[in-house]
A and B are shown apart, each in its own frame.
Chain A
Amino acid sequence: MTARWEQVEPLLANIERPARYIDSEFGALHRPDAAYRVALLYPDTYELGMANQAIAILYDALNAIDGVAAERVFVPAPDMAAAMRGAGAPLLTLESALPVSSCDLLGITLPYELTCTNVLEALDLAGIPLYAADRGSGHALIVGGGPCAFDPEPLAPFFDAFLIGEGEEAVLDIVATHRAAVAGGLDRSGVLAALARVPGVYVPSLYEPAGDGLGVRPRAGSGAPVEVVKRVVRDLDEVRSPACPVVPYMDVVHDRATIEVLRGCTRGCRFCQAGMVYRPVRERTADSVVRDALGQLRCTGQEELSLSSLSTTDHSQIEEILRRLGAALRGRAVTVGLPSLRVDAFGVAMARLVGEGARGGLTFAPEAGTQRMRDVINKNVTEDDLFDTVRTAFDGGWRRLKLYFMLGLPTETDDDIRGIGALVSKVLHIAREATPPAQRGGMRIAVSVSTFVPKAHTPFQWEPQLTLEEVRHRQSVLRESMPRKGVELHWHDAEVSLIEGALARGGRELAPVIEHAWRAGGGFDAWTERFSLSRWLEAFAAAGVDPVALASTPREVGTPQPWSHISSGVSEAYLALERERALSGESTPDCSFDGCTDCGACPQLGVDIVLAGGARG
């Protein structure tokens, strides 16, 4: 295969943001002589994909293997895709401009449901048959991973395999197995059978409908496991963290150096899929965080550092980390960011440590407006916690605040919604009282409200999602209860949530829906301006699937779900117990602070909580 850059270059003069397609960034790795080539696709544009940590981690890990090249692929924006089709140019990898179809393996991360149409767009642009059943030995192996792989069925017919869970070590096993199988002369089915024996790998073509509900089971004689258990890294300090990630030219989302300080969060919010599927908590030590952060800043030249995780201020050594970084970075015009803050004085104190003042905004997620509702979702934050935190922040000079809430949570009533308005009114009052009158003009309080979507592997996986009409009713209740002035209110589009919910709870019957939606012009559906509810409803109708029934029908605990053969380590019994506790308003403590709550993840996965400082408190 020869590089096709000359086919793409002439197109760049007439399209938007050509920097998406030119490669040549500092840190991009070129391995022209590699015997085995992996294309890593993020199913959206360059500027979104370059923010994705999974791609950065796997790019680094795979390129470290002798004889292996990993190259990046992003979905061309519609103008470029049209130009490429017009010129007969296939989808190319960035680094060597080789056709994606010529690679040995195409890894696709699946960050959220609505990127599904972009997966098909990429396969089609690459000239790769959409359905795994239509692919043979000459085709690239298509492997999915990431959050949506925990409910892989809607995309199952398009993929040869999925990796469930964490990729750092598993991708090495997958590549080694694939290379050995090909070297051993195995055909496509032999390769797939070999992959199915790699822990954490799910090969959908080896499974069939179980016949007793929505689940699937291994075909007789396939040798595939009844349950695919997620891969997990025992100790984050034992795996490579990207030392010098690619430095983009264009202004990408989250354009900064990123160090993952810990993985997993066991606060136990009952709607949160990430909090359930990335257990247990594993912290990196302060020494390794500081060393790698400074190394990455030095190597990339980035001017901003993010300490990322699901709950960074929970790290048992966070204060030490921030003080050491602050001392090392003084006078270098480097800013340090904390992506998520605890709703307490400690969270504000940590923000102050990195903020050198209070120029940025603070973001908190109370999620619900009444204590009853917060107990149902296990958000262990009281009104007083929030008020004290806001008072401390505005006393300390902060003027911008963002609050996240959810609408449509299980058991929610109109009173709970009005509770959000009442809570925001009090926050506004406290913030004003703490702000000198002359500075009140600079106050910004934003409230962002999303719609609850029941997700697989959570205690709320059996709960129904609100119908579109009900969401609109509740949004109007909320609008009426919000303060008239002083608050910017943002919604998550209810129509998008409906489709997201249907895709999040469905099985293989959704593959033709996705294909239909893509063929009818879908793509970039996660972009509000490109999303079309009518196109999706037509696609569901054409396939004879009712999206409202899929998203909004309660399910029986104990009946098989489309994702029942996938295990995150957390037992179904624990999820069911958590659901019961939710319905009785009972909270569950965080095991990383208060001891084991028997979710099952540690024994099932053979790992343990790793706290760098020994204990949290």
Chain B
Amino acid sequence: MADAAFRLRVTYGKTGRLRFLSHLEVAHACERAVRRTGLGYAVTQGFNPRMRIAFGPALPVGSAGVAEAYDLWLSRLVPAAEALEMVLVATPAGLAPVDARYVSDKEPSLTAALTLGEYEVVVEDPGMGPGRLAEALADVVGSGSLTIEHKGAMKAYDLAVCLPEGAQVGEEPGRATARMVVHMGPWGSLRPEALVREALGRMDARSASMTVTRVALRPMEG
């Protein structure tokens, strides 16, 4: 590890076409953006030196985010606003940073700290009647658990644990927005779209299109 390292927490978005990137692709793109800035970054020691950078909880392919985060260790202290501007210039618009501030090195890692994700799932289906999605979602949540298939394996989520605040639905003609807070932990990270898809299945509206956005990440205590 470099002798002096200053931990800069960068908040960024994953929006537009770039929501189709995987977590690894996002991480790689942000790392390259940092290299383009000319900022002095700390490098890990060892056989295969790498930039010291650590990302928050993963967002799947297809999901957007407006307040994602990574921690970057700089070898030279640069005012946070200046660093933000440098990263902004070097980053593709769909991953643009919105905030940068220094945090103490004693703070836990982003993945350890940020275990709650707030999501909005917008469902577009002109044929969907009023109140139906809210009803179907309440039905799914009320059942207590959700089993989904992921890469050929079945996985069951305890909804009382994963969705501590349940799910709320706002509606306007032809469009409904489900809001929920997902608790991530050793059991994994429930995908909000899986929950909504299950509800749509019960409504026989599987063809509805969905856009998922993680609007905030926060710690459990907050």
Contact = CB atoms under 8 A, between A and B. Distances in A.
Interface of A: 9-10, 12-13, 18-19, 22-26, 247, 249-251, 297-303, 331-333, 357, 359
B126 interface: no
Nearest to B17: A22
Contact of A12 (B20, B35, B51, B90): B20
Contact of B47 (A18, A251, A359): A359
Given A12-B20, A13-B62, A18-B20, A333 B49 contact: yes
B112 to A, nearest CB: 25
Contact of B92 (A10, A25, A331, A359): A25
Return the 5 tightest CB-CB contacts between A and B, nearest first: A301-B32, A301-B35, A301-B36, A18-B20, A22-B17
Given A301-B36, A333-B50, A249 B25 contact: yes
Given A298-B36, A302-B32, A19 B62 contact: no
Most buried by A among B31, B34, B35: B35
A22 B18 contact: yes
Interface in B29-47: 29, 31-36, 38, 43-44, 47
Given A18-B61, A333-B51, A250 B35 contact: no
Given A26-B32, A331-B43, A250 B92 contact: no
Contacts of B49: 333
A251 B36 CA distance: 19
B122 to A, nearest CB: 13
B194 interface: no
Contacts of B32: 26, 247, 300-303
Contact of B25 (A19, A298, A333, A357): A19
B36 to A, nearest CB: 4
Contact of B18 (A13, A24, A297, A301): A24
A508 to B, nearest CB: 42
A86 to B, nearest CB: 14
Interface residues of B, number: 32
Nearest to A359: B47
Nearest to A250: B25
Given A24-B94, A26-B92, A19 B36 contact: no
Contacts of A297: 35
A14 to B, nearest CB: 10
Interface in B161-190: none
B22 A19 contact: yes
Interface string B74-108: 00000000000000001111100000000000000
A23 B29 CA distance: 13
Contacts of B38: 298
Contacts of A359: 47-48
A9 B20 CA distance: 10
20 contacts: A13-B209, A18-B20, A19-B20, A22-B17, A22-B18, A24-B18, A24-B92, A24-B94, A26-B32, A26-B33, A26-B36, A26-B90, A247-B32, A249-B18, A249-B28, A249-B29, A298-B38, A300-B36, A303-B31, A332-B43
Nearest to B22: A19
Interface in B111-146: none
A247 B93 CA distance: 14
Given A301-B32, A301-B34, A333-B51, A24 B24 contact: no
A249 B27 CA distance: 9
